[in-house]
Amino acid sequence: MNDDGPRYSYPVTSTDSSGVLVRAEIDVAALQANAAVLAKRLAPARLKCVVKANAYGHGIDIVAPALFAAGWRDFCVATINEALHLRELLGDDVTITAWLYGPTTDLDAAVAAGIELGVSTVDSLERLRDAARRTNTTARLHLKVDTGLGRNGLAPADWKRALVKLKTLDARTESDGADASATTPELEIVGIMSHYAVADEPERVETAQQTQVFDSAHRELSAVLDGAQGRLGEPERLEVHIANSPAALTLSPFPGTSARVGLSLYGLSPLGDQTSQDLGLVPAMRLVSQVINLKDIPTGHGASYGLTFTAAADTRFALVPGGYGDGIARSASNKAEVSIRGTRYPVVGRIAMDQMIVEVGAGDVAIGDEVVIFGPDGPSAAEWGEWAETINYEIVTRISERVDRVEIEPRPADGAGL
């Protein structure tokens, strides 16, 4: 799969790449190495690869096949549309879990495609049962319990109601004369899941409290499944998952039988006090542009809209394609840095929709030079997060459709030759 050249995650209208100014190079070998590092850390719990939001901006059409090629078979996304796309991309030999849908979302296609779905409302249990009936398949479900995040998931009262509803649905199955061993069950509870709120702050007590709530919900669900004697799934086969990247990297003992890992798969650190390198991870995205104009600037000259920067001395400006139309944060204006020929230079003035100005002064810079906006050999996505007053998650995920994602060959570890 690696020898059919660069692949793009979005349709390209021109085959002439000379017009491409900003590229996100995706280091597939880094992705695969990160997955191996994380899986080793998690074992015996299993790695679920989170590839929602276009694989955190990296391009799902590059990322998912690369992980598949390295042997990974367990994927998570948020929405059903993402899940169906992934099913088409990877085929039937993978487990795909999705958890975000609304009261009018058509669930039939997802159930028919064997997508495993998170259940966060009592009503969706019946809707999923109906979808299973219509499509003549089993709906495979992960009950999602809100253990304190307050976002999605069944809150405590709804959790109790969901368990009662499950028993009701099972009683109907029983009275229909269905025999678990002879007919296809409509619902199979394959997992229980939750999500941490502060796992990136290891000193906080809420994480252990959430684990406790989760453990007790797990016991209650197991009792209900035991009572249904296999008609709703096997309690000892339940997949138990609450951990995200920060939890996977910090918690010991590790809670659950698997972890849903996103950010750190892409080689980024979810922890404020540890870098990618500290964690043995390699950033998989390198966002690059080029110098397309270079000009001498006299003292007192301004830069970009609002003239919020004024040259304090005679200097040179390099014009670099890349702006908020590419998903580069305007809020990093006058704070960000980029790297050219291994040297850091400041972004001066406001970042515009398509372009930014970099003050290169007397630096060794020529038209056509590559500009590393962020990546392993330039500023990190975490630094951009600080400059833009956000987090590295958002820095990579917001990279827009105009930027071409290109799969690259592994680069030398020391960055030589760049």
Ligand X SMILES: *Cc1c(COP(=O)(O)O)cnc(C)c1O
* Residue 333 makes contact with ligand X by CB under 6 A: no
Q: Compute the distance between CA of residue 226 and CA of residue 275 in angstroms, rounded to an integer.
A: 45
Look up tokens 């830069």; give the residue: 303
* Size of residue set near ligand X by CB under 6 A: 11
* Residue 244 makes contact with ligand X by CB under 6 A: yes
Which one-letter DSSP state was computed for residue 237?
G
Q: Give the nearest residue (CB) to ligand X.
A: 262
**Minimum CB–partner distance for residue 42 and ligand X (Å):** 12
Look up tokens 């609450």; give the residue: 242
Indicate which residue of 48, 52, 196, 266 is catalytic: 52
70 burial class (0-12, 13-18, 19+ CB within 10 angstroms)?
Answer: middle
* Residue 131 makes contact with ligand X by CB under 6 A: no
State yes or no: 151 annotated in a binding site. Answer: yes
Indicate which residue of 144, 266, 305, 324 is catalytic: 305
Q: Which is nearer to ligand X, 163 or 265 (CB)?
A: 265
Site for ligand X in 6-65 (CB under 6 A): 50, 52
Q: Which is nearer to ligand X, 245 or 315 (CB)?
A: 245
Compute the Cα dihedral for 326, 327, 331, 337 and give only its sign.
negative
CB environment 174-205: b (16+ within 10 A), e (fewer): eeeebebeeeebbbbbbbbbbbbbbbbeeeee
- Is the CB of residue 79 less than 8 Å from the CB of residue 61? no
Q: Which is nearer to ligand X, 52 or 218 (CB)?
A: 52
* Residue 119 makes contact with ligand X by CB under 6 A: no
Q: Which is nearer to ligand X, 259 or 311 (CB)?
A: 259
**Bond prior to 253 in cis (omega within 30° of 0):** yes
Name which position in 58, 195, 231, 350 contacts ligand X (CB under 6 A).
195
* Residue 260 makes contact with ligand X by CB under 6 A: yes
Segment interacting with ligand X (CB under 6 A) among 83-91, 133-141, 260-268, 316-324:
260-268
State yes or no: 356 annotated in a binding site. Answer: no
Number of neighbours of residue 235 by Cβ within 10 angstroms: 19
* Residue 270 makes contact with ligand X by CB under 6 A: yes
The percent of the chain in helix, strand and coil, each rounded to the nearest 5, is 35, 25, 40
Active site residue 305: yes
Q: Find the helix packing angle between 60-69 and 80-90, rounded to 10°.
A: 50
**Minimum CB–partner distance for residue 260 and ligand X (Å):** 4
Q: Which is nearer to ligand X, 24 or 53 (CB)?
A: 53
**Minimum CB–partner distance for residue 394 and ligand X (Å):** 11
Number of neighbours of residue 91 by Cβ within 10 angstroms: 9
Q: Which is nearer to ligand X, 145 or 162 (CB)?
A: 145
Name which position in 77, 154, 263, 303 contacts ligand X (CB under 6 A).
263
Q: Which residues are annotated as a binding site for substrate?
A: 151, 353
Active site members = 52, 305
Give the residues lining the site for ligand X (CB under 6 A): 50, 52, 99, 195, 244-245, 260-263, 270
